[in-house]
Structure 1
Amino acid sequence: MLKDSHECAPPLPEFLLEAQALLAKSEDCLSHLNLIRNDEEAINCLLASLQSLAQIAARHAISPLAEFALHIHGVLERTAHPVDLNDPILDALRSCLTLMAWQLELVDPHNGQLNLDDSEQLMLIGELTQQVTQNCTCAYPSCSH
């Protein structure tokens, strides 16, 4: 997970600042969704922030963070719109963002390396997927109702 082959990417300290800002924006969107359920603008903001975070992490070859953000985005994007974000889904999303913030703190600021076991990511993605699927009332193939 080193950034050795990405010469055109901005320096790592700039990545960390941008990633922290995107994560904070995602957390703000989630807080807004706790107050105003299913607000389409907040959902779109969350999706856009997660996608941007995944893109900048990928540019810096920080795969665990990029893949985690893409998985969260994918679970939310495959649902019916507007998705019914109930408390269990919002709690699962908050857990995902909390882990992402912790992982961002673990990125080595000198070489961009993030070595970690992805088991917690997989567990949280599974939990989010399960909550979304249980709440799904759509006719999409990703929904098992």
Structure 2
Amino acid sequence: MPIDRKDWAQRFPEFLVEAQTLLAKSEECVSHLQLISNDKDAIDCMRGNLLKLSGRAEALALEAISEFSLHIYSLLDLSQPQVDLHEQALQALKQCFTLMAWQLELIDHKTGQLSLDGSEQAALLEAFAAEVGQNQVQPASKRLPLSTFSARQV
């Protein structure tokens, strides 16, 4: 269902504030993980923030942000035994968050357009995937877990 431009323009400022808050919390988790390696609670917090951000971005048809968030989310999957958030992995993750924050600032507030080629996102995702022991980046599922349905409401 297409988003009404007037509705989008009203909802975008709130989304932007929430997205920046979620990214800031995720960056705090990275700082925490630099002190306490592989802390499950910090990783779960980041995953929750990324999932919420993806859902909010999807609701506003901000596909590049939604998909980038989902890719990072899937790379932080703790069920994968090889995931190890050592210092280089955390630096790669931090670069992903920095790019996402920059991209949020570049979204046109009137049109919702984000002009970018996906090469920088892809390069950072590949670097992060390599650091956490995954040879290639799997496409993130567009379908969010059912348990997050309420988190997707905007």
TM-score, normalising length: structure 2:
0.78
1:50 corresponds in structure 2 to 50
2:60 corresponds in structure 1 to 60
Tell me, yes or no, if the aligned pair for 2:89 and 2:132 is still in contact at 8 Å. yes
Give the drift of 1:77: 1.2
* Residue 110 of structure 2 is aligned to residue 110 of structure 1: yes
State the identity %. Answer: 47
The CA deviation string for residues 94-124 of structure 1, in whole angstroms up to 9 with x for no partner, is 1100100100110112222111111000000
Q: Which moved further from structure 2: 89-98 or 69-78?
A: 69-78
| Counterpart pick for 2:3 among 2, 6, 10 | 6
Two-structure CA RMSD over aligned residues (Å)? 2.3
Tell me, yes or no, if the aligned pair for 1:12 and 1:110 is still in contact at 8 Å. no
Q: What amino acid is the match of 1:5?
A: P
1:100 corresponds in structure 2 to 100
Tell me, yes or no, if the aligned pair for 2:82 and 2:132 is still in contact at 8 Å. no
From the superposition, tell whether residues 75 and 69 of structure 1 become closer, same or farther in structure 2 (CA, over 3 Å): same
* Mapped partners of 2:33, 2:78: distance in 1: 18
Tell me, yes or no, if the aligned pair for 2:50 and 2:70 is still in contact at 8 Å. yes
The CA deviation string for residues 41-93 of structure 1, in whole angstroms up to 9 with x for no partner, is 10100000011111101100011111101001111116536942101110110
* Mapped partners of 2:78, 2:45: distance in 1: 16
Q: What amino acid is the match of 2:65?
A: L
- Any unmatched runs of 5+ in structure 2? 139-154
Tell me, yes or no, if the aligned pair for 2:30 and 2:94 is still in contact at 8 Å. yes
TM-score, normalising length: structure 1:
0.83
Q: What amino acid is the match of 1:88?
A: Q
Tell me, yes or no, if the aligned pair for 1:40 and 1:82 is still in contact at 8 Å. no
* Mapped partners of 2:85, 2:94: distance in 1: 12
2:38 corresponds in structure 1 to 38
Tell me, yes or no, if the aligned pair for 1:47 and 1:73 is still in contact at 8 Å. yes
Tell me, yes or no, if the aligned pair for 2:77 and 2:83 is still in contact at 8 Å. no
* Mapped partners of 2:50, 2:32: distance in 1: 16
Q: What is the count of residue pairs matched by the alignment?
A: 133
